[in-house]
Structure 1
Amino acid sequence: MRLRDWDNNLKIRLAGESIVNISFWMFFPFLAIYFSESFGKTAAGLLLIFSQFFAVLANLFGGYCADRFGRKRMMVISTFGQGLAYIFFAWSSSPWLDSPIIGFVSFTAVSIFSAFYNPASQAMVADVIPEKDRSKVFAVFYTSINIAVVIGPILGGIFYAKHRFELLGIAAIINILLSFILQRWVTETAFLTKTPEKEQNGFTFLLNQIRDYQVIIRDKVFLLFIIAGVLIYQTFMQLDLLFPVYIIEMVDPQSVFSFNLKAEQTFGLLLAENGLFVALLTISVTKWTSVYKERNVFIASSITYCFSIIFFGSTQWIWGLFIAIALFSLAELLTAGIQQGFVSKLSPAHMRGQYFAAASLRFTIGRMLAPLAIPMTGWIGYNWTFGILSALAIASAVLYFIMFSLYEKEQRSNSTIY
């Protein structure tokens, strides 16, 4: 499906979200270092877990609201809320105030509003794109994110140390502008139904939400998909958490093509390498993997993550780190375009927002638990920490095998009935 044939909603979002993502990645990769230096590794890890716990709740609530109140409304509220949170984040790093605590609270607020945004965003794609083209469209959005992962850290490496206040201020302005653009030019795509007046009170609203998610959790295939995803995200999330801390503490400055690279610059290049690979290859790899069974692709991705994390944790040589990130990027690429398409296959049209919200638990719960790796390095050392992460990747491969066995059995059963 060509870009010019896309729904106008998606064209507007692709442009707006690309700029927002660049502004985000100008400072996000450096936050693990910032909070570790401000609070210590153990406290920073626990605080990041605490912040992401609220993002998990917001993600579930956001999916419910996307189905009940509309994709557009939730995206407008979320982007405006992120803009306000960035204003306070910028203030915490301004010439008039230096407060890591306010910065942490603001980052938590950004995470919560982002968790509200994602289910509505993904459900909108499923609303307007035929099933056969969804994986390709999701791949394009994923590619745009990774273009931001290339551009953002490079700009951040240049400006972050001395201009964090300005970068956060730019992020605030961009998010608020996007909220007005979404309000003005994006149209609603959800199949909205009126909620009876007696269900409008908050308690009943919460009970209805819990009941709806119980229906989802009873879907054994989908539940295994979420659990396997949470496990693999323990590896994936370390790109922005454990990896920079490991490089700062364990990797000495080295020379590459006559350029002397400090630890921060090395990390920026590794992050840019990952983003460049994913940006350039997501669409082509998605086309390539589409000829294979989804089960084999998911399992291959988990095994590749295992090897990449072992390799990364066993070297301090800069070229070894580049090779490890190349493997890491391949693992990411294998499932980048097919994950959301698989979710759309499992989700009924009237519950898409909630299914995508529940699917996003892979990311939000994974992101909530992943910071544990930072204090773990102080408790058991880097070798054991990387070893545990690689074991979790293998465990996810086993769960994917079980999940697809159940899924294929259900498909055969349904075809027999009809």
Structure 2
Amino acid sequence: MRLRDWDQNLKVRLFGEALMNITFWMFFPFLTIYFAESFGKGKAGFLLIFSQVFSVFANLLGGYTADRFGRKRMMVISAFGQGIAFLVFAYAVSPWYTSPMLGFICFALVGVFGSIYWPASQAMVADVVPEKDRSNVFAIFYTSINVAVVVGPILGAIFYVKYRFELMVAVGIISILLALVLAKWTRETVPASAQKEKAADGKWYDFLKNQLADYKVIVQDRIFLMFIVAGILAAQTFMQLDLLFPVYTKDTVNNQTVFELGSKVFTVNGEQAFGLILSENGLFVALFTVFVTKWMISFRERNVFVLSSIVYAVAILMFGATNWIWGLIAAMAVFTLAELMTAGLQQTFISNLAPEHMRGQYFAAASLRYTIGRTIAPISIPLTVWIGYGWTFFILSILALFSAGLYWVMFRMYENKRASEKVV
């Protein structure tokens, strides 16, 4: 499916969200270091866990509201809310006032609004794109995010230290502009079957009751539930990209030589090393996501998901075994391969499982892989204080292997179910 054939909603979102993501990634990779320095590793880790608890509930709420009140409406509200949170965050790091705790609260609010935005945005793609083209469209959106991961940290390394306040203001303004663009140039796509009539004399708690009833149906889908659990375990590896990795490189990489060019020697410290491998990850994703997705489509989904988790386990062990910059670069290449293997397939798998009238909620529930995963993942930071980096990386690799086993069982159940449906 060519870009010019895309629905206007998707074209507007692709370019608007790309600009938003670039500015966001100019400072986001450095926030873990900022909070660790402000609160200490132990307290920062638990605060990050605490902030993600709210995102878990917001994510479920986002799926419900996307199906009931519309994809567009929830995306506009979320983008506007993020903009306000970023502007307050800017005030918390401004030349006139400094408050790491206020900054942390704003960071948590950004996560909450992002969790509401995500299921609506994913459901909108499934609404307007034929099933055969969804993997490629999701892959292109994923690529755009990772272009931002390449460009953002590079620009952030230049501007973040001296112009942190200005960056926060810029991303806040861009978020609000994105909300206005979505409001003016996109249309609602929620299927009529997803909208239920509201009881005229309904009580205030009917909303919650209906939501819990719908999610009960999702939880009873054993295949989908196993998909979420396996995803949460796998997330313990790839979530470390902006949690454990920046702290690890800062602590272990000290002015290492990257290469020599004549009489010039190019060296990196810990923070620069993290920026380098993060940009490497983003560059590889930007260049190879569509190619790898098309390649992976030719294999059985089961084998792709299982092998991806195994490759994650290998990559995380490689990270824990070295602090040499070129070793970290090699580990990131393996890590990125694991990421790309399922980048376009996951959303398509979810849309195939989800009934049309519950698509937003299925995407929201599927996002629990990330919200619950991100809630648990920060424990790795205080864990390094208790048991050291080596054992921490080893435990993360074991979790990835458990994820591979769950994917294997899940897909056997899924394939048996589809085979029985064809017989009937």
- Following superposition, the deviation at residue 251 of structure 1 comes to 1.7
1:407 matched to 2:402? The reply is no
CA contact (8 A) 2:134 2:348 kept: yes
In structure 2, relative to structure 1, the CA distance for the partners of 1:39 and 1:199 (3 Å cut) is: farther
Q: Which residue of 2 aligns with 1:20?
A: 20
1:256 matched to 2:262? The reply is no
In structure 2, relative to structure 1, the CA distance for the partners of 1:156 and 1:201 (3 Å cut) is: farther
Q: Which residue of 2 aligns with 1:146?
A: 146
Out of 222, 225, 236, which is 2:224 matched to? 222
Q: Which residue of 1 aligns with 2:203?
A: 201
- Following superposition, the deviation at residue 198 of structure 1 comes to 4.2
Q: Which residue of 1 aligns with 2:355?
A: 348
Match of 2:160, SS state, is helix
1:32 matched to 2:39? The reply is no
Per-residue CA distance 1:34-87 (angstroms, 9 max, x = gap): 000000001000000000000010000000000000000000000000000001
Q: Which residue of 2 aligns with 1:102?
A: 102
Per-residue CA distance 1:275-321 (angstroms, 9 max, x = gap): 00001000000000000000000011000000000000110111000
Q: Which residue of 2 aligns with 1:7?
A: 7
Residue 363 of structure 2 aligns to which amino acid in structure 1? F
Per-residue CA distance 1:236-294 (angstroms, 9 max, x = gap): 01010001101111122111122121111111010000000001000000000000000
Residue 224 of structure 1 aligns to which amino acid in structure 2? M
State the alpha-carbon separation in 1 of the partners of residues 298 and 81 from structure 2: 41
- Following superposition, the deviation at residue 3 of structure 1 comes to 0.4
Match of 1:336, SS state, is coil
Out of 281, 284, 304, which is 2:291 matched to? 284
Q: Which residue of 2 aligns with 1:302?
A: 309
Q: Which residue of 2 aligns with 1:70?
A: 70
Unaligned runs of 5+ in 1: none
Per-residue CA distance 1:218-242 (angstroms, 9 max, x = gap): 0011000000000000000101000
Matching of residues 15-414 of structure 1 within 5 Å: 15-192=15-192, 193-198=195-200, 200-257=202-259, 258-414=265-421
State the alpha-carbon separation in 2 of the partners of residues 350 and 99 from structure 1: 44
Residue 271 of structure 1 aligns to which amino acid in structure 2? L
Q: Identify the range of structure 1 (240-249 vs 192-201) with the bigger mean alpha-carbon deviation.
A: 192-201
Per-residue CA distance 1:348-389 (angstroms, 9 max, x = gap): 111000000000000111011100000000011111100100
Match of 1:162, SS state, is coil
In structure 2, relative to structure 1, the CA distance for the partners of 1:239 and 1:206 (3 Å cut) is: same
State the alpha-carbon separation in 2 of the partners of residues 218 and 181 from structure 1: 38
Per-residue CA distance 1:191-217 (angstroms, 9 max, x = gap): 243423347533110011001000001
CA contact (8 A) 1:199 1:205 kept: no
Residue 181 of structure 1 aligns to which amino acid in structure 2? V
CA contact (8 A) 2:42 2:381 kept: yes
Match of 2:341, SS state, is helix
CA contact (8 A) 1:233 1:366 kept: yes
Match of 2:342, SS state, is helix
CA contact (8 A) 2:252 2:270 kept: no
Match of 1:161, SS state, is coil
How big is the alpha-carbon RMSD for the aligned residues of Structure 1 and Structure 2?
0.8
Match of 1:197, SS state, is coil
State the alpha-carbon separation in 1 of the partners of residues 201 and 8 from structure 2: 34
Identity of aligned residues (%): 62
State the alpha-carbon separation in 1 of the partners of residues 201 and 143 from structure 2: 41
State the alpha-carbon separation in 2 of the partners of residues 107 and 388 from structure 1: 28
TM-score by length of 2: 0.97
Residue 98 of structure 1 aligns to which amino acid in structure 2? T
Q: Name the count of aligned residue pairs.
A: 417
Match of 1:260, SS state, is strand
State the alpha-carbon separation in 2 of the partners of residues 93 and 390 from structure 1: 36
Residue 11 of structure 1 aligns to which amino acid in structure 2? K
In structure 2, relative to structure 1, the CA distance for the partners of 1:286 and 1:199 (3 Å cut) is: farther
State the alpha-carbon separation in 1 of the partners of residues 292 and 255 from structure 2: 34
State the alpha-carbon separation in 2 of the partners of residues 206 and 253 from structure 1: 54
Unaligned runs of 5+ in 2: 260-264
